[in-house]
């Protein structure tokens, strides 16, 4: 990790999660940190680092070359990295946690705000806290789902399932199965064919029905492995389920809402008549502190 002002003072960090999809949060408003993949991997290491499914760097849009074009629409850019250090286009749970951080830091209030991501600007609404002090849910307008017409197959061991290709700013392969146990251990990425459908790899969701407009999933996230939740994955699953169930709002003329259970909690996903996907769920900041520059090696650089 390099820091352009060569300051070896401790770096502030926070830890947060959305339905147990957890993140290291690094406030870097002026874009002074240059994170290598190795730096991110070390920070996300659950035994030797802080631990997380990914890392959220909080940067002003005007201070980041990938977000400068959005600076007239939103002040903040979410620089999201997977736990293996790879760069990702989007993270739905990450956007909610990102917004919660901005609220905690006094950089936004409950209400509406916009967050820039590599998949474009996402509109966010932070609900007011409940009377008992419980933080309000965070809702993200996730954009319109892309539905490539690839015929995709997902394979685990000697079993294969047809899957729906859904693009939520990042790629997904959604397979409906009889039991979530059929996904196996998910220690390794399930095989997806044809590989040409996903040239940069994909997230894979295994889905079962729980009731009317109610599904549950397990997910293997590209670059992170199996996680407790995936926001874009829950949206992809909702879209695939709605198409399977004949509930496409563009056809019926009515919005549709699904409850999506993830291992770490519950998300509520709505598709509007104009195709916008809205995801609502909790976002929690659990800790904050400082990172030792000696541990990171800043003092020797």
Annotated ligand binding at 232? The verdict is: yes
Residue 235 a catalytic site member: no
Rounding to the nearest 10 degrees, give the CA dihedral for residues 169, 265, 248, 172: 30
Annotated ligand binding at 225? The verdict is: no
Residue 44 a catalytic site member: no
Annotated ligand binding at 228? The verdict is: no
Closest Cα to residue 108, out of 74, 68, 142?
74
Structure tokens belonging to residue 239: 């879209």
Closest Cα to residue 176, out of 192, 160, 189?
160
Annotated ligand binding at 8? The verdict is: no
- Which one from 35, 78, 175, 230 is the annotated catalytic residue? 230
Annotated ligand binding at 231? The verdict is: yes
Annotated ligand binding at 20? The verdict is: no
| Number of Cα atoms under 13 Å in the Cβ half of residue 49 | 23
Annotated ligand binding at 203? The verdict is: yes
Annotated ligand binding at 272? The verdict is: no
Annotated ligand binding at 185? The verdict is: no
Find all residues with CB under 8 Å of 55, minimum gap 6, and list them. 23, 24, 25, 26, 35, 40, 43, 44, 80, 81, 83
Find all residues with CB under 8 Å of 245, minimum gap 6, and list them. 213
- Which one from 91, 97, 237, 260 is the annotated catalytic residue? 91
Which residues are tagged catalytic? Answer: 91, 230
Residue set of the binding site: 21, 82, 92-93, 170, 203, 221-222, 231-232
Residue set of the binding site for substrate: 21, 82, 92-93, 170, 203, 221-222, 231-232
């Amino acid at each position: 990790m390099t820091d352009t002002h060569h300051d070896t003072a401790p770096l502030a960090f926070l830890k947060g999660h959305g339905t147990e999809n957890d993140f290291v949060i690094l406030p870097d408003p002026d874009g002074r940190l240059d994170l290598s993949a190795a730096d991110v991997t070390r920070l996300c290491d659950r035994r030797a680092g802080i631990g997380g499914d990914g890392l959220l760097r909080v940067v002003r849009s005007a201070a980041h070359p990938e977000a400068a074009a959005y600076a007239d629409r939103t002040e903040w850019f979410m620089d999201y990295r997977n736990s293996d250090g790879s760069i990702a286009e989007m993270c739905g749970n990450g956007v909610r946690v990102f917004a919660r951080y901005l609220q905690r830091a006094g950089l936004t209030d409950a209400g509406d705000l916009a967050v820039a991501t590599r998949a474009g600007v996402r509109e966010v609404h932070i609900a007011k806290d409940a009377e008992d002090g419980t933080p309000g849910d965070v809702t993200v307008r996730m954009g319109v789902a892309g539905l490539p017409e690839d015929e995709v197959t997902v394979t685990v061991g000697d079993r294969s399932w047809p899957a729906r290709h859904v693009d939520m700013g990042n790629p997904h392969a959604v397979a409906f199965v009889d039991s979530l146990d059929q996904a196996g251990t998910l220690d390794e990425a399930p095989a997806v064919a044809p590989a040409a459908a996903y040239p940069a790899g994909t997230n894979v969701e295994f889905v079962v029905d729980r009731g009317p407009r109610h599904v549950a999933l397990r997910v293997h996230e590209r670059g992170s492995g199996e996680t407790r939740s995936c926001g874009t994955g829950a949206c992809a699953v909702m879209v695939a389920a709605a198409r399977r169930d004949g509930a496409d709002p563009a056809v019926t003329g009515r919005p549709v809402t699904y409850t999506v259970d993830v291992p770490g909690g519950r998300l509520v996903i709505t598709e509007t008549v104009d195709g916008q996907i809205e995801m609502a769920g909790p976002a929690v900041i659990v800790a904050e502190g400082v990172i030792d520059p000696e541990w990171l090696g800043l003092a020797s650089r």
